[in-house]
Amino acid sequence: MDPVIELDGLEVRFGNRTILNHLKASLTGRSIGLLGPNGAGKSTLINSLLGFHKPTSGTARIFGRDIRTHAREVRSLIGYMPENDAFIANISGVRFVRMMAELAGLPKEHALERAHEAFFYVGLGEVRYRNLGTYSLGMKQAAKLAQAIAHGPKLLFLDEPTNGLDPPARLRMIQLIQEIRDRGDLHLILSSHLLRDVEECCDEVLILKDGNIAAFCNLEEERRANKRFLELETRGEINGNFLSAIEHLGCEAATGAQGRIKLVLPDGLEVRQLYEVAAQQNVQIRRLNHKRDSLEDIFLKAMEAADGRL
Amino acid sequence: MAVYKKTYRPYEGALTSSLGRFLVIPRYAFEDMQKSRFLTIFFFASFIYPLICALIIYVQHNASALGLLGVQGARNLISINVVFFMGMLGWQSMLALFMASFVGPGQVSPDLANNALSLYLARPFSRLEYVLGKMWILMVLMSFMTWVPGLLLFLLEGYLEGWQWMSDNARLASGLFFGAWVWILLLSLMALALSAWVKWKPAAGALMFGVFFVAAGFGVALNGVLRSKWGHLFNISHLIGSVWVQLFEGANKTTNGAVFFRVPEGEELPLWCCWMALGCFCLICFYMLRRKIRGAEVVR
């Protein structure tokens, strides 16, 4: 698969401070999460990819286009939802999005149509003629998303999209992001310090720490791998026949205290078959857990690494 | 009523040319300006002086009108010459300064205050295009206030006087055009630079006048203390006046500038110094804009 973003020794320095330190990675996922504590360099990375900060050395490529030499072309492929409040004063919501779409190159009639569509899509259809200054925080976030998608970008940068949102508004925003992701028309980069947001929306995660790549993992693969690990809790002592029966199915099994069994399931084996074997052996399975190496585990492991590199 | 699908779909239509994309900014700005009654009235009121000038030109060439008024000798009273056109440009340029101080501060500061620059510059749209788009608003308005009526008056006089007059006085037309553009560029750059640095609009507007009058006062004080004429390098109206005299008359100068832009007798600075000072002024404005017009603020 062609990489969406290739970081090729990207280094960004502000004065004597190194903000991004020779980043090297190839991101191919449909939705990529950028994780890291505050000051890790997430926003700087996005700003550098947008051309706001000039790399001190190295470069990055977006869809194969170098950000140093093809900055304008790169920006024509991108939609950007910034972290902070960003809007144009004294202008209605739909006019704002229309103007942004026109600046991205859409003819004015198309821009108007797309602005209306984007506003309805993000759930602000009824307030699209209201002045942006009168919007609540949640509405402003949605309006920022509308301006980011109105011109139909191929890559969407979302910088802390759920910042300051109450739970229902956050849920709506996450659903919108998931819908956009699932349509498959564009790739998205979601920068957040909220693990849950990234876990719910992304299939790849790049974890930054102090300007270095602390971890890079494919969440889909992690999830798939996790599904093959099971922990069973049976009633009473572990029946030896049951163990040999499940090993006969191809499972690797290890017994623990109080009737616990840890299993690695072979490909193609369904959980239902375990229950069938248990029933045949008169074993009662009281609990069955998929072991989950959660994003939190991955993140914490990455943060523990002393120099920020795994 | 249109029904909009609540779904996301990619855009696959044609795109506009990137060359003229900066014109999106002035188009929206002009739409907004029309909502301001004060600015609209001020803009149209600025045509009163050129209309009076047109009337003077017409009456001068209409013997029956002169007879009707009983002022046959008036033709010799007001001459349609370099003083007439430079005077008109002087008045109109002062009105342009007011217009720039009303419109200019509202150009960049709201975008900076609301972090809108990151939205503009995340698109295939450069910093230069942003500045050009914002300047375009001021340049169009001030053009309609200065060289456009000036050239129309020149054409009217040429039409009434004949082709020979036009060819003899072609320098007046070029002086009007280029002289006005020097002023327009200077004002536009200054208005945007101040708008980028001073976020409070009334303060930025007041500072526009401050740069002219306070700097001129400083220059005069400097002249008084040092007993020299070099303090006029801080006096923008002096510099512009010197440049206008050259553009309107070349080496054969008969005037010492226009109203508001007069160069006192004996205190003329070398012309290259005036051009250099104006150039430096523009470079400072460019530098100020370059520091502020960024997609993301760099905290070192």
Nearest CA of chain A to the CA of B119: how many Å? 7
Contact B123 A76 (CB under 8 A): yes
Of A86, A149, A179, the CB nearest to B115: A86
pLDDT at A293 (0 to 100): 61
Q: What pLDDT was estimated at residue B71?
A: 65
- pLDDT at residue B106, rounded to an integer: 87
3-state helix/strand/coil string of chain B: CCCCCCCCCCCCCCCCCCCCHHHHHHHHHHHHHCCCHHHHHHHHHCCHHHHHHHHHHHHHCCHHHHHHHCCCCHHHHCCCCHHHHHHHHHHHHHHHHHHHHHHCHHHHHHHHHCCCHHHHHCCCCCHHHHHHHHHHHHHHHHHHHCHHHHHHHHHHHHHHHCHHHHHHCHHHHHHHHHHHHHHHHHHHHHHHHHHHHCCCHHHHHHHHHHHHHHHHHHHHHHHHHHCCCHHHHHCHHHHHHHHHHHHHHCCCCCCCEECCEECCCCCCCCHHHHHHHHHHHHHHHHHHHHHHCCCCCCCC
The arithmetic mean of pLDDT across residues A286-293, rounded, is 76
At the topology level of CATH, where does A5-223 sit?
Rossmann fold (3.40.50)
For residue B115, give the chain A residue with the closest CA.
A86
Each residue of B111-124: pLDDT tens digit?
Answer: 998 889 999 999 99
Secondary-structure percent of chain A, ordered helix, strand, coil, rounded to 5: 40, 25, 35
pLDDT digits (tens, 9 = 90+) for B64-119: 777 776 666 666 667 888 999 999 999 999 999 999 999 998 889 889 988 899 99
Q: What's the whole-number average pLDDT of chain B?
A: 89
Q: Residue A310 — very low, low, confident or very high, per pLDDT cuts 50/70/90?
A: very low
CA distances (Å), origin B148, targets B54, B87, B153: 13, 15, 9
Q: Which two tokens stand for residue B233?
A: 């390098």
pLDDT confidence bin for A285, thresholds 50/70/90: confident
What tens digit of pLDDT does each residue of A3-33 get?
899 999 999 999 888 999 999 999 998 999 9
Give the CA dihedral A86, A90, A92, A98, nearest 10 degrees.
-60
Residues of chain A with CATH 3.30.70.100: 228-290
C-alpha distances out from residue A202 to A5, A47, A141, A169, Å: 15, 20, 19, 19
Burial class (CB in 10 A: 0-12, 13-18, 19+), A300: exposed
Mean pLDDT of A228-246: 79
Q: What is the pLDDT of residues B244-283, one digit of tens each?
A: 999 999 888 888 888 888 888 888 889 999 999 999 999 9
Question: Which pLDDT band, with edges at 50, 70 and 90, does A238 fall under?
Answer: low
> Residues of B with CB below 8 A from A89's CB?
110-111, 113-114, 116
The neighbour count for residue A99, using CB atoms within 10 Å, is 23
Would the CB atoms of B123 and A117 count as touching at under 8 Å? no
Mean pLDDT confidence for A284-302? 77
User: Which of B119, B37, B110, B17 shows the shortest CA–CA distance to A96?
Assistant: B119
Q: What is the pLDDT of residue B212?
A: 84
Q: Mean per-residue pLDDT for B163-173?
A: 93
List chain B domain ranges: 81-146+170-292
Domain(s) labelled CATH 3.40.50.300 in chain A stretch across: 5-223
Cα gap B203→B208, rounded to integer Å: 9
Chain B CB contacts of A147 below 8 Å = 119
pLDDT, mean of residues A109-130: 92
Closest residue in B to A104 (Cα) is: B123
* Chain B interface mutation, best of A103, A129, A158, highest count of B Cβ atoms under 10 Å: A103
Residue A309 pLDDT greater than 50, yes or no: no
Q: Residue B11 is nearest to which of A47, A114, A147, comparing CB atoms? A: A114
Query: In one letter, which amino acid is A217?
Result: C
Residue-wise pLDDT tens digits, B29-69: 999 888 889 999 999 999 999 999 999 998 888 877 777 76
Which of B46, B53, B49, B82 shows the shortest CA–CA distance to B244?
B82
Q: What residues in B contact A86, CB-CB < 8 Å?
A: 114-116, 118-119
Q: What is the pLDDT of residues A53-104, one digit of tens each?
A: 999 999 999 999 999 999 999 999 999 999 888 888 789 999 999 999 999 9
Indicate if the pLDDT at residue A218 is higher than 50. Answer: yes
Q: Which CATH class is domain A228-290?
A: alpha beta
CA–CA distance, B177 with B236 (Å, rounded to integer)? 19
Taking each helix axis as running N to C, give the angle between helix B82-103 and helix B147-161, from 0 to 180 degrees, rounded to the nearest 10. Answer: 160
- A103-132 mean pLDDT: 92
Cross-chain residue pair B4–A117, CB shorter than 8 Å: yes
Task: Tell me if A80 sits within 8 A of A103, measured CB to CB.
Answer: no
Q: Is B300's CB within 8 Å of A15's CB?
A: yes
